[in-house]
Structure 1
Amino acid sequence: MTDDDGRTGTITPAAFHAATDVAQWRVTSTGPQAVWRSPSLRDTAALVGDILDAAERFGILPDIDLRPEAVVVRVPYRDLDGIPARCPAFAAAVSAAATQRGLVADPSLVQTVGVYVAQHSGVDSRPFFLAALGYDPLGDTDAVDPLRAGPPLAFNPITGDAPGRGRTHFDVFVPADQARARVDAALAAGGRLADDSYAPRWWSLASPDNHGVDIACWTDTFD
């Protein structure tokens, strides 16, 4: 299917970042996202009309999170196909409006926290979590809050572990240019580097009492 302006289908994070005037945006596991700091809730709310105008113009369905300190704008994945091809134009329009209103982008506040449920290869835990959390399935292995307010869940089998033992850790998706600082901060706070063999795509860390956290940024650079 071809849009009126010739853009078609979906694009990758790398293609999104290669577009014009999207430098204030990053791509996490849930899609493109930007955060602008603001001095007051009224100032953040003033941007909403601009976001809605851009959304209608480019056919995008964004999530908008208003806080007294900042406004968060996301273009969430509603399926697993990729980023809408019209998203860069939408992102550029919102960035221009935010800049005109004097809001300051802060990529260090961009992140998505997910829960990684590791399960024995003979067990399917997803139906239980769907029922208990009221989540919807996404693809064959994931689950999402219908309103995208709670953290997404991913379910993946593990081998070589005792059946009946559940293992879960957090996935923290941050911009590629913020990942190393987040890892260093976690290590300085008493964490332990469990595995960096996949760095700089992600680092596996452990808390002092061995809870797992992956700091991941591969979604921001994937092509």
Structure 2
Amino acid sequence: MSETISPAQFHRAPGVTDWRVTGTGPQAVFAARSLGEASGLVAPVVAAAERFGVRPDVDVRPEAVVVRVPPGPDGIPAAATDFAAAVSQAAHELGMTPDPSRVQSVGLYVAQHSAADARPFFVAALGYEELGDTDAVDPLRCGPQLAFNPITGDVPSRGRTHLDVFVPADQAPARVEAALAAGGRLVDDSYAPAWWSLASPENHGVDIASWTDTTD
């Protein structure tokens, strides 16, 4: 079994200040001025991945490059720290600036009656794969991860969902304030700063979560 580390252990490693940990693992966003500039980071990412035995996801856009290290079933691979430091060094040498304010991942939390199992339907409809006992994922990790959890005593046949928005711990309060200023309503902050439960003006649920960035 490969050695794994916690988010807090990841952040204590040298050279990873550009990175944050979300629901999809350690992630960094490096701003770019063109697609050509962004593509220049791809070769160093590939070289670092091969050197440290990491399998990252790389999203290249004209505005930025997003690099993620998907966690395994047991957590973040320990080699992610050396990989992240190498990628940051390469980005800095290319003159690309990190932008932690753009780091995030989005998940969909499907709440269902305790006697129901909606996961097979969503897996089939979205072309997803089952993950563990309660989740489902896009095989290419492009779409949001789904979590299915029962609500004991809830009304049968009443589907309920909300979005989980995972952001860096140092960005979460500002994201909450922005959502409230845009007409949102604070539903529950008893778990803050791990997460805040918000509702839109029409009562669509959104959790702003930062616990993935701080867990030890």
TM-score using structure 2 length: 0.98
Code of the residue aligned with 1:183 in structure 2: it is V
Cα distance, 1:80 vs. partner?
A: 2.1
Structure 1 residue runs of 4+, over 4 Å off?
none
Q: SS in structure 2 opposite 1:88?
A: helix
**Match in the other structure for 1:48:** 42
One of 29, 54, 58 as aligned partner of 2:23: 29
**Match in the other structure for 2:4:** 10
Distance 1:179 1:192 in 2: 16
Q: SS in structure 2 opposite 1:137?
A: strand
Code of the residue aligned with 2:36 in structure 1: it is R
One of 9, 13, 37 as aligned partner of 1:19: 13
Cα distance, 1:160 vs. partner?
A: 3.1
**Match in the other structure for 2:67:** 73
Q: How large is the Cα RMSD of the aligned pairs?
A: 0.8
Distance 1:160 1:209 in 2: 24
- Assess if the C-alpha contact under 8 Å between 2:114 and 2:153 holds in 1: no
Q: SS in structure 1 opposite 2:133?
A: coil
One of 174, 180, 201 as aligned partner of 1:208: 201
- Assess if the C-alpha contact under 8 Å between 2:113 and 2:158 holds in 1: yes
One of 175, 178, 190 as aligned partner of 2:183: 190
Distance 2:5 2:112 in 1: 32
One of 140, 150, 160 as aligned partner of 2:133: 140
**Match in the other structure for 1:5:** none
Cα distance, 1:182 vs. partner?
A: 0.1
The reply on whether 1:86 has 2:79 as its aligned counterpart is yes
In structure 2, the gaps of 5 or more residues are none
Distance 1:161 1:141 in 2: 18
The reply on whether 1:149 has 2:148 as its aligned counterpart is no
Q: SS in structure 2 opposite 1:172?
A: strand
In structure 1, the gaps of 5 or more residues are 2-7
**Match in the other structure for 1:109:** 102
One of 145, 148, 154 as aligned partner of 1:161: 154
The reply on whether 1:177 has 2:170 as its aligned counterpart is yes
Distance 2:205 2:73 in 1: 26
Code of the residue aligned with 1:206 in structure 2: it is A
Distance 1:80 1:205 in 2: 29
Code of the residue aligned with 1:76 in structure 2: it is P
Cα distance, 1:161 vs. partner?
A: 1.8
The reply on whether 1:100 has 2:87 as its aligned counterpart is no
Distance 2:158 2:73 in 1: 30
